[in-house]
Amino acid sequence: MNCHKALEQLDACPPELAETGDPAMQAAQLHVESCADCRELLRARRAFDVRVATAMEDVPVPDGLKDRLLQSLAEDAGGPDGQPKPVPAAAGRVDRRTFARRLIGGAVLLLMGALGLGWYVSTREVPLTLADARSRLNMLLTDAEQPLAFDALEAFDGRFDAALPEGAWNDLVVGGPRGVNINGRGGHDAAVYAIDKPGRRGVRGWLFVFAPRRIVDGPDDSVPVEANAQYLPFPNVAWTEGNRVVVCYLEQGDVSTLRARMLGTPA
């Protein structure tokens, strides 16, 4: 028998049982007699018990306590059959089965919330700056393994109105709209048109029309101007058309020629 079991046995045993020759009690007593640490600990515990018992003798018993206890026991005895009445659970406490159900329900709600949040984050249209949009288009156009090819693009999914204005714009367009996904979240971020106006002062390139308010810092200008142009790694210019932003990448021509062709003025 180890120290813990011996002390536990002696603490729980009433004095009268120690005199009956109980085998467990005898084993515990033999252990304590051979263990100095257990003897000291048992002595301290019994001394504490004596002090508590002495102190309790000086505490007056409240008037009527015995009668109240007996009445409470009688009420708890239940009905005529003498079966004890069920004891209601303390307020605010739940049994294990209820707790498990609540835990599982909470876990399911958390999982559904996480899935919903993941779907929302993966499908919502996150606004882009014009610099971000240009950077991602540049990456698509310079991808050595899978360079962007107009004929390989999917047909535009129609998630926003990408129709071009009537007039000279349509004289430039030779293909489209196709769709391009630049953020990897599914769906098309921009509609793509191929433009080509042959000639000595001709233009050729791609028009990327972004969804309304997709670009948060679109240019104030409604036509291509030099101030909104970039030339590396590809010549391109941006402008605002209604509530959409257009970025044109030029394979041939320059900003002034593109503007003239769009407006139907001499190049």
- Over residues 193-237, the pLDDT tens digits come to 998 988 777 888 899 999 887 888 888 888 888 888 888 888 899
Looking at residues 165-179, what average pLDDT do you find? 82
Same domain, 224 and 139: yes
Looking at residues 162-169, what average pLDDT do you find? 78
Structure tokens at 76: 């708890």
104 lies in a domain? no
Structure tokens at 196: 């080509």
pLDDT of residue 6: 78
Task: Give phi and psi for 33, each to the nearest 5.
Answer: -65, -25
Task: Give phi and psi for 251, each to the nearest 5.
Answer: -95, -25
Looking at residues 53-81, what average pLDDT do you find? 67
More confident residue, 12 or 111: 12
Query: Of 41, 57, 73, which marks where a domain is finished?
Result: 57
Same domain, 41 and 146: no
Same domain, 134 and 43: no
Query: Of 18, 35, 57, which marks where a domain is finished?
Result: 57
Calculate what percentage of the chain has a pLDDT beyond 90.
Answer: 7
Same domain, 138 and 254: yes
CB 179 within 8 A of CB 155: yes
User: What is the Cα–Cα distance from 166 to 156, expressed in whole angstroms?
Assistant: 19
153 lies in a domain? yes
118 lies in a domain? no
Q: Per the omega criterion (within 30 degrees of 0), is the bond before 177 cis?
A: yes
User: What is the Cα–Cα distance from 255 to 246, expressed in whole angstroms?
Assistant: 13
Query: Of 57, 74, 94, which marks where a domain is finished?
Result: 57
Pairing of strands 190-197, 154-155: unpaired
Structure tokens at 122: 């993966």
62 lies in a domain? no
pLDDT of residue 223: 84
Same domain, 48 and 151: no
Confidence tier at 152 by pLDDT (50, 70, 90)? confident
50 lies in a domain? yes
The amino acid at residue 262 is M
22 lies in a domain? yes
CB 132 within 8 A of CB 157: no
The pTM is what?
Answer: 0.52
Domain residues for the domain of 32 are 3-57
pLDDT of residue 247: 92
201 lies in a domain? yes
Q: How many domains does the chain have?
A: 2
Same domain, 157 and 247: yes
Same domain, 49 and 137: no
User: What is the Cα–Cα distance from 66 to 70, expressed in whole angstroms?
Assistant: 6
